[in-house]
Amino acid sequence: MAVQCACIMSSPTITTLEACQILYKGQSNVKLMAKDLGLSLEEMQQIFRDYVAANPLDDDSWHKDIELSWPWA
């Protein structure tokens, strides 16, 4: 399902998978993504919970994180 996204992104459309990937990286807010996708907050929360359950973090995942984040960026 692709819909218009009002957030600042390189592409004018976003899928629920792309939204979950953005949320998983901590680059956006669940409420904002729900609004951009035209979903209720509860629907987006459930979709994101399912995504996180299907994509667990490895114990060593943070070792691969080389991007600086706030407040150091």
At 72 the pLDDT is 64
Is the whole-model pTM more than 0.75?
no
Q: What is the full per-residue pLDDT of the chain (73 aa) written as tens digits?
A: 444 444 444 445 799 999 999 999 889 999 999 999 999 999 999 999 999 999 887 777 667 666 776 776 5
At 51 the pLDDT is 96
Structural contact between residues 33 and 44, judged by C-beta atoms closer than 8 angstroms: yes
Smallest Cα–Cα separation from 20: which of 38, 37, 40? 37
